[in-house]
Amino acid sequence: MSADDGGNNMIKRTLLAAAFACATPAFAAVPATLTYDHVTLIDGTGAPERSDMAVVVKGERIAAIVPTKDAKGSLRDMHGAYAIPGLINSHVHLSTPPDRKSALAQLRRFVYSGVTAVRDMAGDARLLADLSSESRFGEIPAADIYYAALVAGPEFFFDPRVAASSRGYTPGTAPFMHAVNGKTNIPLLIAAARGTGATGLKIYADLPPNLVDALTAEAHTQGLIVWNHADVFPTTPKEGIEAGADTVSHTCMLAYQASAQNPRAYHNRAPVDAAKFKGETPTVVRDLFTGMKKRGTILDATLYVYRVMWQQPHKTLPYCPLALAERLTGEAHRAGVRISAGTDAPADWNSPYPSLYDELGLLVHGAGFTPADALQASSMIGAATIGQRKNMGTLEPGKLANIAFLTKDPTEDIANLKTIVLTVKRGKEYPRAGYKPIAKDEMGDAD
């Protein structure tokens, strides 16, 4: 980059910061139809970026994308800012345990950082339903929430997280967090899960293959997406994928396929056999990638949580090194498996940006993704993960107006996400200048 380019970027950022400096801390009112012109468009489809474009937003949706010279009506000059699709974090936990103050703080940080949707992977669905409604209608500054109902074998429900997240129910009996055995009425269980407002069924742990098969089939029959742990213990990764899971979470769990014996239970599992991966990745694991590509199974990599595990081993037993998770994620990507970007853990309370930024950095610098591929993992593929490809994930007419505006090109350096100046979610503006940083007392478990 030349000195002139650096000066232009500084001017661009100064102009945009000034434009939004007077915005309210919540969100700014906008006209019914507003055109963001002089935009450099990165639409998320893989098409080349387009300079000097205009994005016409009408209500919640993108009405048109045209050259700036053809723009009309109410105009907002974006001074060449880069427009990318709103980001999606495909693995969060906002209500485990339920804490409205903490959830609101995280959701606020998300939306002011360009994250317009999240997939919550099991918690108290009562709180999630409330927050989801409030976000959907713009009553709080927040990313939209799509959440799971969890099922597992009875052995899992001794986990203290269950009691905290399903307070008022005997553990294993909540419609959003239910135990399953051979006597379970699975159609009734799935219907109850759907009644909580869940988008997907999370098949968690301690279930044999026949029950994983039955749960997956019935969930699909009743219109729920199926989100599995990559290893359900004792059901192997291969068996879970072949059952028809739409997404599997945690790359390193796929490595258990190469173990001499798959762990029999979630709470009593050995680390993956990393010695099996000192040379070429075992054929049984590479075969998983082939099967996932063929079936369209999405891999929710969660590299960030592996980094957290090794940074805080006193809190979580590290069952797999980050380096192996990065390696297998890269191999899956190169084999044609679609990768979504999820974190499974929040950033520290005092971080100005969410952990999704770290996840994307790990995909690029650890797993060998291009920045453009990492952005697709957190936009187009993230949208597929939550069943919302028709509504979000790319910038196209007819889709929701979920847009992040940056002053530097994120396809050149993924760290340029930190130059965000404005998020538009469902047509509402969340200027970065209006972001209220998280206070320590908002995150109850902050160190």
Residues 54 and 142 in one domain: no
Residue 84 sits at φ, ψ, to 5 deg, of -125, 160
At residue 2, the pLDDT reads 41
Q: pLDDT tens digits for 321-358?
A: 999 999 999 999 999 999 999 999 999 999 999 999 99
Q: Are residues 420 and 286 in the same domain?
A: no
Tell me whether residue 446 is in a domain. Answer: no
Instruction: Please tell me whether residues 325 and 258 are part of one structural domain.
Output: yes
Check whether residue 91 and residue 74 sit in a common domain: no
The parent domain of residue 162 ranges over 86-385
Residue 45 and residue 179 in one domain? no
Report if residue 442 sits inside a domain.
no
* Statement: residue 68 has pLDDT above 50: yes
Q: What is the pLDDT of residues 136-145, one digit of tens each?
A: 999 999 999 9
Question: Angle at which helices 322-334 and 283-295 pack, to 10 degrees?
Answer: 50
Q: Is the pLDDT of residue 317 over 70?
A: no
pLDDT band at residue 1 under the 50/70/90 scheme: very low
Residues 66 and 93 in one domain: no
Residue 211 lies in a domain: yes
**What is the count of structural domains for the chain?**
2
Question: Is pLDDT at 22 greater than 50 in this prediction?
Answer: no
Q: Mean pLDDT, to the nearest integer, of 68-80? A: 96
Instruction: Tell me the pLDDT of the chain averaged across its residues.
Output: 93
Considering the domain architecture, whether residues 261 and 290 belong to the same structural domain is answered as yes
| 90: nearest Cα among 134, 136, 113, 121 | 121
Domain for residue 443, yes or no?
Answer: no
Residue with tokens 């538009």: 424
Do 73 and 11 share a structural domain? yes
pLDDT value at 19 more than 80: no
pLDDT at site 309: 81
| Cβ–Cβ < 8 Å for 423, 116 | yes
- The answer to whether residue 180 scores a pLDDT higher than 90 is yes
Same domain, 207 and 321: yes
**What's the whole-model pTM score?**
0.94
Amino acid at position 289, single letter: F
**Mean pLDDT, residues 416-430:** 98
Using the predicted structure, report yes or no on whether residue 102 has a pLDDT greater than 50.
yes
Residues 113 and 234 reside in one and the same domain: yes
pLDDT in tens, 144-170: 999 999 999 999 999 999 999 999 999
Residue 447 domain-assigned (yes or no): no
Is 359 within the bounds of a domain?
Answer: yes
Same domain, 250 and 199: yes
Query: Are 274 and 299 members of one domain?
Result: yes
